Structure formats: structure tokens, C-alpha cells
Amino acid sequence: PPNSTDPTEWVGSVEILRQYLLNEEPVRYGQCWVFSGVLTTLLRCLGIPARCVTNFESGHDTDCSYSIDCHYDVEGNPVDDLDDSIWNFHVWNEAWFKRNDLPPGYDGWQAVDATPQEASESIMRCGPCPVKAIKQGDVYLPYDCGFLFAEVNGDKIWWKVEKDGSMAVEYIDRNCIGKCLSTKAVGSDDREDLTSTYKHPDGSLEEEEVITKVAHFGSRKEWSIKSVNRDVQVEIGHETAIMGNEINIPLQLTNTSSNSSRTISLSAHIKCAAYTGRTDNKQPLIKSITNVLELSCNESDTLTISILPEEYIKKIRAGSTLRLFLQLSVQETKQVYATQETFLVKKGSGVMVTCSSTTVKQYEDFDVTCSYTNTTSTKLTRSYFYLEGPGIRRSKKLYCGTVQPNSTIERTLTLSAYRVGERVLFVKFCNSKVPNAIEKVKIIVEEAEPTEVI
């Protein structure tokens, strides 16, 4: 919309807070990573220790079952309108403070979500919730512990939906939700892994005890869900998918039975998915395949799904991914296996940044040259560079106009820095058709010489 900024274009909190201070109106627009960054800044300004936390394969439980429920019809097609969702990632905050409203032992890091996904007591909010309570499965503690537990440790359950609407549990995966919980390490750009603070190791006795405890509080506790030993295993390969190239997804199927062959019916659907995991009718179908494989005892076979550029390049949207829905059924044992995998289609950054000097004096001007190479066959209109960095004077926009296909555009501007030490300047090329075209450059800022006072 006019007079708004795409959430992917922000690279820091400063400009957002400046706009709000000057205009005293809502700043449009943000998504979870934007809200989390702003909340981190505000909490730290108040003296409250805070950090952003990113959860990959983040569950979104909509019915307080504390599980992530997926549904397929009898033909293997996903029933999107019944599903919970799994976000490629979700970002919230942790803040460190005491919890005098809870029994002893729950002080410390508290999860607070600046982008609440479900109403809590009729209000859109989420947290604060002790991270310790999430790990222990204390889903009855305030605030919103059950929802946060499902985000990081919910079971993913597949349900088969019959034509009459009845459902039955077909498969359960206990290890796919909540991956690589991350924050920025103190004093470096390294990733600090927080997974062990939110959950016990997958498959451990401690995790099993927590899952059993939580099941007593869920809205689907009347269902008896048991793990099944499966004699057909599937591994989905992950190759780097580059926009404009053919994408190959290898599926390796193995019959682990030592005394019987297996006949496997396979159904695969590939759709565009938003980062929130949603694949409704607005997200186009890319490809569907069905196949039948015969595997002898202990035999493996690989089936490769190939997606040509012309099959996806006009359907995939900025910020979206490819999601594979896979269902297998074994004729001899009636076993069913269902899973989903997400594939990010990468684009080259195309952005280059150079500074007139990588060591500058405090408050002194220096030049920054930004360039972008458009390697697509599409004309990019209303483009601009956006520059921002902690300790750098004022964020800047450099308008580029139209960038023609297979051409390079270059702009130079003058900046200055007011904070001493190593600074990072982020430069982003902004265009709705080119997400995540960003580069950074490090600058050493030396203390200014003291001026003589007469």
C-alpha cells in the first residue's frame, strides 16, 4: 500500500522508532522479526535484558491440543482448511526478570511474543512465560505456556479424513517441530543455540515424560496415539535450490524388512507456501506425481522429483517457499507414512558495497558506493537502496528508479559515524520482486581528536 514499507525492507529499529516519534502514528508494516527487533530495543532501553529468539519449523497450534495436526483425504491430497500450520521460522523475545506471581524457580528468561498468533483470554497477546516451564511441560502456568510448548515441542500428527468426514490417526512424528532455536551470541555475529533450554533431546526419556504429562491437558487427549515401527523408511534429499535452475528432490525409499517384499504407493504434491506454512488456494500447485514401487527385502531405491523452471518460476512469490507433501502407503501392511518438507529457493544477492575507507574518524564523512546487478529477465521499477547501521548517522534511502534486465545500477552517498569501535553498515536493495538482496560492510571508527578550546 502507499506510504508504507514492506516488512522485509527494514534492517533495524532506529528508523521505525524515528518515524513513530515524528508522526505519532502507527508505522506500517512489520512481521515477527520486525516486531521482535523493536521490542528488544525498547526493553533494553528500559534496562531489561532482552534478546531475539528464532525458532525454525515453528508449530502453530490452533485448538489447544498441544500438537500440530495435518490432514489428508483418502486420495492423499492435503486438506488445508483443517490443518494447523508449521512456520518456516518464527521470532519472539526473551526478557530476564523475576516471576513473583509464580512458585519459586521460574525467574530468569521469559518468552514474550510481540507477534501473538492466537488470542489469550480474548486478547491478542503471548507471554511472558518462563522458558523453564516450556521445557518442563508446565502448560498450565501463565502465560500461554501451552501455546509456546506446541511451537517448540508439539507432536506432528497426520489424520486421514474419510469421505464422510470421520478422521483417524495415521502417523505421528515427534522430532520435526522446533529446530535450531537461535539467538545472536554476545559480542559476535555467531549463532548461539538455545534448543536445549526449551526442550529435552529428541527421543530421550526426559522428553517422553514431558510429552506424556502434556498429553493429559490437551484438547485431543481422548485419542490414543502410539508410535508404530515401520518397515519402509524414506529420506528426502536437500539440494540447494537456485531460482531459474531445475530443482531436483531425491526420495530414497528403503524396505527394512528382512523377509518380505513391499509394494509402495507414493503420492507427492508440491505447492508454494508462505513462510507461515500456509498453502491455501491462493498458493498455487506446482506439481503432483503418483508412483508405485516394488522393493525386495532390504532393498533401497531412489525416485527423483524434477521441477523445471517453467513449472515454478511464474508461480513462486516473493518471500514464499516450495513445500513438498508426501504420502506413502504400503500395500502388504497397510502402513501409511506422511511428511512435509520445505525448500527455500535462493536468489543471488546481487548487492555490492564499498567504502572509501574501512577505517574512519568519528564524526568525519566517508563515501559508500552501492551497486546492484539485475540478473533476471524482469524490469525492476521503483527500486532503491536502504542503508542503516548502529552508530551510523541517520538511515538513508537512495532511489534508483528502474533497473533494466541484465544491467547494473550504482549509487554513492556520504555518511558519518558517531560511535567508536567496529560498526556494521547494512545495505539493502529494495524491490518487491527481489527479496533479501542485502549486504553488509564492517567499518572501524576511531575516536575523534579532541578539539582545542581557546
- Separation CA 240–CA 259 (nearest Å): 37
- Please choose, from the candidates 368, 365, 360, the residue with its C-alpha nearest in 3D space to the C-alpha of residue 385: 368
Q: Which 8-state DSSP code applies to residue 349?
A: -
- Over its C-alpha atoms, the chain yields an Rg (Å, rounded) of 25
- Please choose, from the candidates 174, 184, 212, 221, the residue with its C-alpha nearest in 3D space to the C-alpha of residue 59: 174
60 catalytic residue (yes or no): no
CB of 129 within 8 A of CB of 139?
no
**Catalytic, out of 32, 126, 129, 145:** 32
**Catalytic, out of 61, 69, 83, 113:** 113
Strand order in the sheet with 155-161: 67-73, 155-161, 167-173
Q: How many CB atoms lie within 10 A of CB 408?
A: 13
Distance from CA of residue 87 to its chain's centroid?
Answer: 6
Residues in the chain, total: 454
- Separation CA 162–CA 156 (nearest Å): 19
- Separation CA 387–CA 427 (nearest Å): 5
32 catalytic residue (yes or no): yes
Q: Which 8-state DSSP code applies to residue 37?
A: H
- Separation CA 245–CA 239 (nearest Å): 12
**Exposed / middle / buried, residue 168 (Cβ in 10 Å: 0-12, 13-18, 19+):** exposed
- Separation CA 341–CA 56 (nearest Å): 13
CB of 424 within 8 A of CB of 389?
yes
**Catalytic, out of 90, 126, 145, 430:** 90
DSSP E strand stretches across 98-206? 108-112, 119-120, 123-124, 129-130, 155-161, 167-173, 179-184, 191-193
SS3 breakdown of the chain: % helix, strand, coil, rounded to 5? Answer: 15, 45, 40
- Separation CA 130–CA 107 (nearest Å): 7
Q: Just list the catalytic residues.
A: 32, 90, 113
